[in-house]
Structure 1
Amino acid sequence: MSAGRAHESERDAILAALRPVVDGIAATFGPVCELVLHDYRRPERSVVAVAGSVTGRAVGGAMSEIGMRVLARGDAAADELNHVTRTRAGKLLKSSTMPLRDSTGAVFGALCVNVDITAVHQVHTLLGALAGLGDGTAETPVTTFGNDIDSVVDALLDAHRIGPDRPWGGLDRAQRLDLFRSLDEHGVFAVRHAVEQVAGRLGISRASAYSYLSQARTATDPTPAGGPA
C-alpha cells in the first residue's frame, strides 16, 4: 500500500473511532449539547457524524465559518475553545473546534462541540440586573451554521458589507485585494466553485476573480524573490 493510501486509511479509521464518542458525549450532556464530526477532505459536505440538534446540522452538511477558518490555517490550525457566538436564529452558543491530525501531523478534519447557553445567559443577565450590576451586554458575533456551503460563503461576503451601500465598483484596487485576501484567510476558496460564487455576487467575471485572488496571495507570500517556490 502506498504512503498516500495508508494515510487515507488511517484518517478513515480515526473518523470511524470517533463516531461513537460523538454520540456518547452528546448523550451525557443532553439536549443543550451538539457534537459535529467533520472530514475536511470534502469541505462542501464535511459533516460525517452529528449528535444533538443545537444548530440543525445533518450528515452531508457543510462546515460553518469557524470550520472554514480552521481549514484555511491548514496544518498550523490550533484548537479554538470556548468561542462564544450567536446563530442567525438567535441562539447563544459556546463552541469548541478541535482539529484532527493523522500520524504525520496533517489536519484532515475536526471535532466540534456546540453548547446552547442561551438560557444560562438569560439567567445570568437577570441575576445581574437584580444585583444592580447591569446586564454586561456585549455584541456577540453571528455565525452561520447550515447544511449548505453556499449560505456560509454568502454570509462571509455579507460580513464584508459588499452590497448596494458599498458596491464592488466603489472599491479601489487595495480594497479589492484586501477583500480577496480576507476571504482566502477565512477558507472560502478551499470550497469548490467558491470563486464562481464570489464572482457572481460581486458582478465580475470568473477570470477577474481568479486574477484578484492570485494577486492577493502573491502580495502576502512571504517567500523572497528567487527563493523556493
Structure 2
Amino acid sequence: MGSREAERDAVLRALVPVVDGIAATFGPVCEAVLHDYRRPEESVVAVAGSVTGRTVGGAMSEIGLRVLARGDEARDELNYVTRTGTGKLVKSSTMVLRDSTGAVFGALCVNVDVTEVDRVQQLLSALAGTAAGPSQAPVTTFGDDIDSVVDALLDEHLRRQDQTWPALDRTRRLALFRGLDERGVFAVRRSVEQVAGRLGISRASAYNYLAQARTTAEDQGRPRMG
C-alpha cells in the first residue's frame, strides 16, 4: 500500500508543471486544476488560472463527486459545457488519473471560459438571421467549500422532485438518497450529517434511508456506491 501511495504522490508532483503550462498556453480564459481524490474535501493540489475561482486546498465540484462515485469505472469526460453560479459559460474536460493497477485516484481538469465566444456566436447568428436561443448549459457549483457543493446537489434533487422533504413519500425519499449517493455525495466526510440537518431529520434516519436506498439499488442491479 505504501508503494502505491508513493506512486500516486509522484504522479501528482509530475503534473504540477503541466497545470501551469496548460494555463499559460491558453491565457486568462483558461484554468487547469489538479485533484487528489483521496481527499475529497480538499482535493485541489494545484491550480493555475481563475475561471472558477478555486484555490489549493479547495474541494472538488459536483462533477468531481460524480467521477469519484464511479470509482475505477470512471471515464474521462471531455468537452462538456456548464454554467457557473455567476453566469460564466465554461467548456471543460476532466481526465481521470490512474495508478499502475488501474485504480482512479485523481483528475486533471481544464476549464475554459467561453462566455464571450458564446455571445459573439449569438450576435453573428442574429446578424445572419439564424439566431437560436441562448445556450442552456447546466449550472455547476464550483467552490473551495465542499459543504456548498453538497448543498447544491441536495437542492437540485429536491427541485427535481418539486416537493419538500415532508411531502415526499417513502419511494421518493429513497430515490433522493439514491440519487445523492450516485452523485458521490456520501463519499464526503460528514455529508450524511449535513444532509440530515438540511432535511430536518435525525442522523440515524438519514443513515437508514441511505442503507435502504443502497439495498434497493443492489436489488435492481445497480452498482453500490461507497
Q: TM-score range by the shorter chain?
A: over 0.9
Alignment correspondent of 1:195: 192
Cα pair 1:100 1:108 within 8 Å, conserved:
yes
Aligned Cα RMSD in Å? Answer: 1.5
CA–CA distance in 2 between the matches of 1:138 and 1:115? 16
Q: Say yes or no: does 1:130 pair with 2:121.
A: no
Shift of 1:160: 1.4
CA–CA distance in 2 between the matches of 1:138 and 1:101? 34
Alignment correspondent of 1:227: none
Q: Which runs of 5+ in 2 are unaligned?
A: 222-226
Shift of 1:134: 1.5
Q: Say yes or no: does 1:117 pair with 2:117.
A: no
Shift of 1:61: 0.2
Shift of 1:168: 1.1
Alignment of 1:20-59 (within 5 A): 20-59=17-56
Identity over aligned pairs, percent: 74
CA–CA distance in 1 between the matches of 2:135 and 2:147? 29
CA distance 1:208–1:132, shift in 2 (3 Å): same
CA–CA distance in 1 between the matches of 2:135 and 2:58? 31
CA–CA distance in 1 between the matches of 2:173 and 2:135? 30
Q: 1:132-168: CA deviations, max 9, x gaps?
A: 00134342100000000000000001111369x7221
For 2:98, which of 97, 101, 118 is the aligned residue?
101
Cα pair 2:158 2:165 within 8 Å, conserved:
no
Cα pair 1:75 1:106 within 8 Å, conserved:
yes
Q: Which runs of 5+ in 1 are unaligned?
A: 225-229
**TM-score, normalised by the number of residues in structure 1:** 0.93
CA–CA distance in 2 between the matches of 1:124 and 1:135? 10
CA–CA distance in 1 between the matches of 2:143 and 2:180? 18
CA–CA distance in 2 between the matches of 1:166 and 1:219? 22
Shift of 1:169: 1.2
Amino acid at match of 2:215: T
SS of equivalent residue, structure 1 residue 161: helix
For 1:179, which of 176, 179, 198 is the aligned residue?
176
- Deviating 4+ runs (over 4 angstroms): none
Q: Say yes or no: does 1:75 pair with 2:72.
A: yes
Amino acid at match of 2:94: T
Shift of 1:49: 0.1
Q: How many residues align?
A: 220
